[in-house]
Structure 1
Amino acid sequence: EADIRLREVYELFPLGPARGACRVAGLPKPDGCV
């Protein structure tokens, strides 16, 4: 279990956690992202 706050997640991924994590992982953007 990671001890990280939501604010820290958005500091790492300013475009949003799902989109940012997919970008880092090399995956396509999740559905619902513009």
Structure 2
Amino acid sequence: EQLLELEKEFHCKKYLSLTERSQIAHALKLSEV
């Protein structure tokens, strides 16, 4: 049960970091143009 919670948390953080990364990349592209 605890392992499932850790996995869920990991996936949430992974998803968040991916979203943040894409947002930063998007912002950088916008500032470049």
Both proteins in one fold, TM over 0.5:
no
TM normalised by structure 1 equals 0.31
* TM-score, reference length from structure 2: 0.32
Higher helix proportion, which one?
A: 2
Which structure has more relative contact order (CA 8 Å, sep 6+)? It is: 1
